[in-house]
Structure 1
Amino acid sequence: MNPIVGIGEVLWDVYPDGRKVAGGAPFNFAFHCHQLGHDSVIVSRVGADDLGRELRERVRALGLSDEYIQTDPDHPTGTVQVALDVNKVPTYTITEHVAWDYIGWDEKLEPLLKTARAACFGTLAQRFGTPVPVHRFAEGLHQRKQPGLVVFDVNLRGRYFTEEILRWGITTSDWIKINSDELAVLTDLLQFQSLSDTVSSAKPFGSGVAILTRGELGCEVYRQWEEKDSDGDPLYSSETFTEPGVSAKVVDTVGAGDAFTAAMVCLHLEGRPLRECAKFATHYAARVCEYPGGTPKIDRSEVERAAGLK
């Protein structure tokens, strides 16, 4: 197995009506990679409590393994109170010092690092200091003889990020995914003036991809890569393209960004051109918005037909 790995929070999203939905951006990402036909796992931590046991059961029911979900004897399973505004956009009240804040490195993770095709992480699981697995996966995938894809899905939540966390994630990753609000934060904290700065400023002599999601307006993608001129010297090229939005009957937008990232990564690993990845991901995320929660069942073939890719 050569899985795609989501590293970070797994938790219960709790809605105003009391409904609980398994969530957390890395978990949503891993779920959608699995739904799109790829082996995927979540590296996280839950408490030794009823919520943790129930969450493990839900992870398995959704088709993923809980093998890499650790049990914390001292901290409770994570919960988030979700509120939706008039546009069905969520805000989150996130319980602090819960199990996923204390993910550790254990013997199971070493072979996973050696075989993973890609790893995706965000900022939230680093809020009280970066867990060792995030650093070791991001840096370890690049150190392998055959490097894996490292994805930083920024996912800013409240005050739970620092300039240091942002700079480390951007400079360490092959892909950076942000939304319009997050780009404004990067502009303020890091003096980035455009999407291209997230790659060109951090990797002036390297390859990388930056993806900006704009909700119903679609997405923008910037790619920078290295070629060789006729003398064999490095030549750096770049391109920017946009993909228009897709109409949707929005129920809520929880997990739509995570689904978008998963779709981009999966199609890229299948060898699809980046423009096709973006078109599919935009359609896929729109479908996710038509269902409650971040892990609805979506038919891939229907999305491919809607996107004109089948």
Structure 2
Amino acid sequence: MGDTQNERIERMYDVLVVGSANADLTVRVDRRPGAGETVLGTDLVESAGGKGANQAAAAARLGARTALLAKVGDDAFGELLLEGQREAGTELRHVLVETGARTGTAMIVVGPDGDNSIVVSPGANAHLLPEDVEAAREAIAASAVVSLQLEIPPATVRAAAETARDAGTRVVVNPSPAPDRLDPELLAAADPLVVNEHEARHLTQLVDGTPEAWARSLRDQGARSVVVTLGAEGALALEAGAGEAVAVPGVKAEAVDTTGAGDAFTGALAARLAAGASLPEAARFAVRVGAVAVTRPGAQPSYPTLAELPPEPGQFT
């Protein structure tokens, strides 16, 4: 779905993210509590998050012309999210403020290994509707890539995918939280579908499968192309029509907090695809970005600029 040089010049945005915006409420613990158990944690940290807002911030910090279509409440958390996007350099004209609504909230528990457990309360995200997508039709058509996730209503995600497809805009789909079954039209629009190991297993039902088997299964189900993220092991990219998948090696990093690392990867992937990179090239770049993000606490505050990326290959702590 390449653009001509003239079309690239006329683009309004490199990346338009349609998705969620949440206030992240994070506490670190020495160990996660069991059922019915109480443990002590650190002081609560409030920061900007949400899969949509995270991906937009990641792309914008890397220099991509980025906009976010999302909905927040008219509360303090809503302003926190707007300020986070301003700092990243995201265009905010498509962020809608719902009067009287509570901004979406994510409650995050981070263990000593940096891994996290997250519970999301949708709040205003549940009020981002297909008519909001229709109102942004021109912006979608004027974007190189539209990035989607599943923390907003399914009908809204489907409307965004259909609008982008009709306009010839490339669609990146990160199906998280993973549903029991992906909408066939959304799957058909995905170029690529970006999944982690847990999501890949869930969506393919190949519990003991390999990353390449997951990727092939998802492409056979209808995705145009697939990227499987593998944490510290890197990623695997299967392009449309390609006979073999390309393994992308990981970058060594000392994980402090993995919150939002997948969003850093997806935002970076979308930004590099918008710049004309092949899928394996974009995945290699995104692995580096995600590796930097895990070395810092939080989601959006951990995302690097281009100047903060180490040379490839590189090691950092």
Give the TM-score range, shorter chain: 0.7 to 0.9
Corresponding residue of 1:221: 237
Amino acid aligned to 1:298:
P
List aligned pairs for 1:283-302, cutoff 5 A.
Answer: 283-295=288-300, 296-302=302-308
List aligned pairs for 1:132-211, cutoff 5 A.
Answer: 134-144=157-167, 147-156=168-177, 161-163=179-181, 165-188=182-205, 194-202=214-222, 208-211=224-227
Separation in structure 2 between the aligned mates of residue 2 and residue 59 of structure 1, nearest angstrom: 15
1:305 aligned residue (306, 311, 315): 311
Is the contact between residue 68 and residue 108 of structure 1 (CA under 8 Å) also seen in structure 2?
Answer: no
Higher relative contact order (CA 8 A, sep 6+): 2
Separation in structure 2 between the aligned mates of residue 167 and residue 113 of structure 1, nearest angstrom: 21
Corresponding residue of 2:146: 119
Is the contact between residue 123 and residue 166 of structure 1 (CA under 8 Å) also seen in structure 2?
Answer: no
Q: CA deviation at 1:87?
A: 1.9
Going from structure 1 to structure 2, the CA distance change for 1:54 and 1:36 (only over 3 Å counts) comes to closer
Corresponding residue of 1:43: 69
Amino acid aligned to 1:250:
A
Going from structure 1 to structure 2, the CA distance change for 1:51 and 1:138 (only over 3 Å counts) comes to same
166-175 or 73-82, larger mean C-alpha shift = 166-175
Corresponding residue of 1:32: 58
Is the contact between residue 113 and residue 256 of structure 2 (CA under 8 Å) also seen in structure 1?
Answer: no
List aligned pairs for 1:77-96, cutoff 5 A.
Answer: 77-96=103-122
Match status 1:244 vs 2:242: no
Separation in structure 1 between the aligned mates of residue 222 and residue 87 of structure 2, nearest angstrom: 40
Separation in structure 2 between the aligned mates of residue 188 and residue 275 of structure 1, nearest angstrom: 25
For residue 299 of structure 2, give the secondary structure of its aligned residue in structure 1.
Answer: coil
Percent of residue pairs bearing the same amino acid type: 23
Separation in structure 2 between the aligned mates of residue 280 and residue 50 of structure 1, nearest angstrom: 35
Corresponding residue of 2:19: 8
Corresponding residue of 1:231: none
The runs of 5 or more residues in structure 2 that have no matched partner are 1-11, 28-42
Going from structure 1 to structure 2, the CA distance change for 1:273 and 1:116 (only over 3 Å counts) comes to closer
Match status 1:270 vs 2:275: yes
Separation in structure 1 between the aligned mates of residue 196 and residue 232 of structure 2, nearest angstrom: 12
Corresponding residue of 2:30: none
Q: CA deviation at 1:301?
A: 4.0
For residue 214 of structure 2, give the secondary structure of its aligned residue in structure 1.
Answer: coil
Amino acid aligned to 2:193:
I
The runs of 5 or more residues in structure 1 that have no matched partner are 226-236
Corresponding residue of 1:233: none
Separation in structure 1 between the aligned mates of residue 238 and residue 98 of structure 2, nearest angstrom: 40
Separation in structure 1 between the aligned mates of residue 188 and residue 79 of structure 2, nearest angstrom: 37
Separation in structure 1 between the aligned mates of residue 292 and residue 204 of structure 2, nearest angstrom: 30
Separation in structure 1 between the aligned mates of residue 64 and residue 230 of structure 2, nearest angstrom: 26
Provide the aligned C-alpha RMSD in A: 2.3
Structure 1 stretches of 4+ with a deviation exceeding 6 A read none
- TM-score normalised by length of structure 2: 0.81
99-108 or 111-120, larger mean C-alpha shift = 99-108
Residues 249-272 of structure 1: per-residue CA shift (max 9 Å, x gap): 111011111111122222222223
For residue 118 of structure 2, give the secondary structure of its aligned residue in structure 1.
Answer: strand
Separation in structure 2 between the aligned mates of residue 280 and residue 181 of structure 1, nearest angstrom: 22
Going from structure 1 to structure 2, the CA distance change for 1:189 and 1:101 (only over 3 Å counts) comes to farther
Separation in structure 1 between the aligned mates of residue 175 and residue 244 of structure 2, nearest angstrom: 22
Going from structure 1 to structure 2, the CA distance change for 1:142 and 1:216 (only over 3 Å counts) comes to same
174-183 or 49-58, larger mean C-alpha shift = 49-58
1:70 aligned residue (96, 99, 104): 96
293-302 or 117-126, larger mean C-alpha shift = 293-302
56-65 or 258-267, larger mean C-alpha shift = 56-65
Is the contact between residue 251 and residue 313 of structure 2 (CA under 8 Å) also seen in structure 1?
Answer: no
Is the contact between residue 146 and residue 169 of structure 2 (CA under 8 Å) also seen in structure 1?
Answer: yes
Corresponding residue of 2:285: 280
